DNA sequence: GAAGATGTTGACCGCATGGTCAATAGTGGG
DNA sequence: CCCACTATTGACCATGCGGTCAACATCTTC
């Protein structure tokens, strides 16, 4: 057993694998960005937060942009996975819609920091020419999911006729708006709010 | 007539008043922010764009933050004024809603740059402690307008019963989502899209 | 037209930040 | 136990930025 030390206590823990280190740094970046904003999120502060010397960051990432890009990937992956794993997409469409709103609303209470950081980074990550690196165009696959879901609803009669893309974009807009609103109002009850918005959308998109 | 020169040509134009200068600088800031993003919008570049020496900026503004705050005020004021002046709020509620969506959609085609800059600055302006200076809480007066409008609709029977605040927040979310979507898709037809979203909302919130 | 006030300039500074690097500690294989 | 290799450190550097300032230009007023 070549383990150096097994107690996972204070400072003398076992050496991390490269992936663990990368993740530690990326998570520190997330935390710092969420707290002070993208522009003020210093690499020095990020390494400090990760409990790591400054130079090490460049052993794992080539520049600030790369750190942030990894952070986006990490965050988006975690959020999406948690959502998908928790909603039964084969249920009746209105139920799925309600569940998505509800789950997303709860997310704002359990993943406040991550959502803040994600928003922050997405809004600020740029290419070297100054254009946004992540745009709404990257929503396309999300829209595709929505279109598929709502299309099924149209076929089984739970969603009224109408342009699916408009529905999908409206659906996503309500989700994003709900997230922003709940983030800004930490005291609001997420579930009652989610219900309200879900009903608004379903009344708008449902047959009858 | 102590005018130095009357021809409004190339470089030797008449001296600007303080307000004009401030506005020139603020507008240059808007343009630069829209192009390269908040973080990369250098004060040097802003003054260059305004056709003014670097030091002059500090004659009119005390620091970068103040420039950006003025820019927010300037932008929000112009956008709001143009919207309000163009929509007859005493018309039947559904007509008002449709008009707002339509006018806003057209805005994304006539004020692309300004909307970009506004979004950019709002997302990045911070207090010295790192918290956002402009948050969704500043939407409160906008929500108040929406609540008033939709409340009138409930009283005259064009809007169905339901929590007005939820309606208002959903309404604004659809507007913001539409703006973002049209900004990301410059080729989409704004009016047909606006109609679609308006109908989605009205189906959701209307009586019947 | 002198004098004071105001507008304008560009050179300059301090500093924080992203990024580099030579040196050291730790790890694993033979 | 040694050697090669990787992880890790912290001092260091270059740069670009926000911000200052003394000098100069221009207007206003009497």
| pLDDT tens readout for residues A114-139 | 999 999 999 999 988 888 888 877 88
Nearest one of A131, A176, A182 to B181, comparing CA atoms:
A176
Q: Give the span between the Cα atoms of A34 and A28, in whole angstroms.
A: 10
Contact B136 A180 (CB under 8 A): yes
Q: Is A45 on the interface with B (CB under 8 A)?
A: no
- Which nucleotide shows the minimum CA-to-C1' distance to residue B65? D18
Q: Give the span between the Cα atoms of A67 and B94, in whole angstroms.
A: 48
3-state DSSP helix/strand/coil % of chain B, to nearest 5: 70, 0, 30
For residues B65-73, average pLDDT: 95
Contact B177 A174 (CB under 8 A): yes
SS (H, E, C) A146-161: HHHHHHHHHHHCCECC
Residues of A in contact with B172 (CB under 8 A): 177
In the prediction, which pLDDT does A104 show? Answer: 95
User: What average pLDDT does the structure give for chain B?
Assistant: 88
Q: Could you report the per-residue pLDDT of B128-159, keeping only the tens digit for each?
A: 888 888 887 788 889 999 999 999 999 999 99
Q: Could you report the per-residue pLDDT of A34-62, keeping only the tens digit for each?
A: 999 999 999 999 999 999 999 999 999 99
> With bands split at pLDDT 50, 70 and 90, how would you rate the model's confidence at B86?
confident
Encode A36-66: b = buried (16+ Cβ within 10 Å), e = exposed.
bbbeebebebbbebbebeeeebeebbeeeee
Nearest one of B118, B181, B103 to A172, comparing CA atoms:
B181
Question: Of B126, B137, B201, which is closest to A184 when you measure between CB atoms?
Answer: B137
In the prediction, which pLDDT does A192 show? Answer: 94
Residue B83 has pLDDT above 70, yes or no: yes
Position with higher pLDDT, A177 vs A10: A177
> With bands split at pLDDT 50, 70 and 90, how would you rate the model's confidence at B16?
confident
Residue B179: CA atoms inside 13 Å, Cβ hemisphere, count? 22
Asked if residue B100 lies in contact with residue B106, where contact means CB atoms within 8 angstroms, the answer is no
In the prediction, which pLDDT does B14 show? Answer: 56
In the prediction, which pLDDT does A5 show? Answer: 37
> With bands split at pLDDT 50, 70 and 90, how would you rate the model's confidence at B8?
very low
Domains of chain A: 18-205 (1.10.357.10)
Residue nearest the C1' of D21 (CA based): B55
Q: Which residue of A has its CA nearest to B131?
A: A36
Position with higher pLDDT, B205 vs B55: B55
> With bands split at pLDDT 50, 70 and 90, how would you rate the model's confidence at A2?
very low
Q: Which of B101, B173, B197 to mutate to test the interface with A (most CBs of A within 10 A)?
A: B173
In the prediction, which pLDDT does A204 show? Answer: 72
Q: Give the span between the Cα atoms of B149 and B138, in whole angstroms.
A: 19
In the prediction, which pLDDT does B137 show? Answer: 76
Nearest one of A184, A177, A139, A86 to B181, comparing CA atoms:
A139
Strand D close to B124 by CB, under 7 A: no
Nearest one of A49, A60, A54, A65 to A16, comparing CA atoms:
A60
Question: Of A126, A177, A183, which is closest to B177 when you measure between CB atoms?
Answer: A177
């Amino acid at each position: 057993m070549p383990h150096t030390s097994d107690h996972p206590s204070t400072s003398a823990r076992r050496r991390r694998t490269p992936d663990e280190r990368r993740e530690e740094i990326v998570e520190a970046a997330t935390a710092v960005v969420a707290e002070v904003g993208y522009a003020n999120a210093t690499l020095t502060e990020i390494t400090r937060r990760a409990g790591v010397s400054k130079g090490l960051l460049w052993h794992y990432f080539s520049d600030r942009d790369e750190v942030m890009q990894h952070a986006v990937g990490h965050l988006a992956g975690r959020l999406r996975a948690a959502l998908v794993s928790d909603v039964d997409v084969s249920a009746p469409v209105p139920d799925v819609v309600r569940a998505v709103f509800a789950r997303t609303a709860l997310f704002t209470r359990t993943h406040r920091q991550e959502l803040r950081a994600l928003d922050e980074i997405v809004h600020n990550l740029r290419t070297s020419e100054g254009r946004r690196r992540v745009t709404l165009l990257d929503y396309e696959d999300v829209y595709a999911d929505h279109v598929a879901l709502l299309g099924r609803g149209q076929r089984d009669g739970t969603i009224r006729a109408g342009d699916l893309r408009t529905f999908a974009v409206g659906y996503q807009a309500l989700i994003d708006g709900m997230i922003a609103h709940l983030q800004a109002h930490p005291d609001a009850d997420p579930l009652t709010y989610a219900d309200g918005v879900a009903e608004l959308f379903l009344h708008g998109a449902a047959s009858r």
